[in-house]
Amino acid sequence: MKPRKLVMIPGPTPVVRSIQNQMGRETVAFGDLGFINDYKELLKDMKELWKTEGEVFVIAGTGTMAMEMGIANTLKSGDNLLIVSNGFFGDRFIDLAERKGINVDVISSEWGKIVPIEDIEAKLNEKKYDGITVTHVDTSTGVCAPIKEIGEMLKKFPETIYIVDGVCATAAEPEYVDDMNIDILITGSQKAFGVAPGLAIVWAGSKAMEKRKELGRIPEYYIDFDKWLPIMQDPSKYFATPAVNMIWALKESVRIIKEEGIENRYERHSKNAKAMQAALEAMGFTLLADKDHRAVTLSNVLYMEGVNDLEFRKILGEEGVVVAGGLAAYAGKMFRLGHMGNIDIHDMVSTIASIERALYRSGIEVELGKGVGTLMAELLK
């Protein structure tokens, strides 16, 4: 009998039954009064949980579209943008910005490390930057950037729009828009929210909304804040058809978050990540990210000598767990393991046990039970 497969990639993440049930509901008209109230309640919760007096946009789309939405509504051709890149997805902002005629400077870290805050501040002092982008968690490296501390430093540069890519962080790593001096926070539904792909989410603080007013008419249509703002303020209005069932699914995810308590959710992710990472190291793996800056949402796991990436991931899939491969220079040298959202202790134990079995089948010397034992010891502290 084949084992049930756990999809433990850095997103999409496993979707629990109550969220699946919302996705499977009979679809109603977007003007249905019940749906309008559900949409309105969701938007209110999103603003309150992520603490902003500004706006939140929840629309059909992807995390990449949310990135483009953040750029398009705050920056124009000829503006200067500083991109702080901790890996592959930080670099994605380069193409997004250059296509809009924005002048781009990039400050990058060695993969596995952060860009030091003092280096960012020194770069900002070189010339006037209209915006800065920081990827909170880059899934290519498993590095978590210190966005709170960067936001505090940016108070010295009040004219610079602070854009945070929270795609693989939001709902798992602490993020508070106004408290952390964030102007734009972007994410998608399919990572730590534990919802299927399909929704782009953008929080825009007061400074970002003022910037949008200053820009006037922008070339973009679907992702224009001004097109969506009337709907976000009154979902009974229409601009483009909302993803009805996905809105319900996200609303259920937010209900789960509120029931758990968002601070408790952050603490759970931190504890789970430390346990998973300790278990992986106990089995003989090393992790790409520096220990002081490891994300809680995923681990980027470097192979020990003698492991063939494609063969190992094939065997691991046969043992019931799907992980992602490494990117760029680390392709074939590591796998990427997601551990975020609504996964529970059963998922984690099964994952570590499956990795142990896959190592054993790959001919790698492994003490069976050591990874699981380490995981349990950490989780039960």
Give CATH 3.90.1150.10 domain extents, the chain.
6-13+261-379
Q: What are phi and psi of 225, to 5 degrees?
A: -50, -40
Q: What is the number of alpha carbons within 13 Å of residue 296 lying toward its C-beta?
A: 19
User: Is the CATH number of domain 17-260 3.90.1150.10?
Assistant: no
Q: Which CATH class is domain 6-13+261-379?
A: alpha beta
What is the DSSP secondary structure assignment for residue 5, as one 8-state letter?
P
- pLDDT tens, position by position, 22-75: 999 999 999 999 999 999 999 999 999 999 999 999 999 999 999 999 999 999
- Per-residue pLDDT tens over the stretch 235-273: 999 999 999 999 999 999 999 999 999 999 999 999 999
As a whole number, the mean pLDDT across the chain is: 97
pTM of the model: 0.97
Please, where in the chain does CATH 3.40.640.10 lie? 17-260
The pLDDT tens digits for 94-129 are 999 999 999 999 999 999 999 999 999 999 999 999
pLDDT of residue 88: 84
pLDDT tens profile 297-347: 999 999 999 999 999 999 999 999 999 999 999 999 999 999 999 999 999
Asked if pLDDT for residue 1 goes beyond 80, the answer is no
Structure tokens at 214: 């200053």
Cα 184 from Cα 162, distance rounded (Å): 6
Closest Cα to residue 241, out of 26, 64, 38, 59? Answer: 59
Q: What is the DSSP string of 182-209?
A: -SEEEEETTSTT---S-EEEEEE-HHHH
User: Is 217 marked as binding a ligand?
Assistant: no
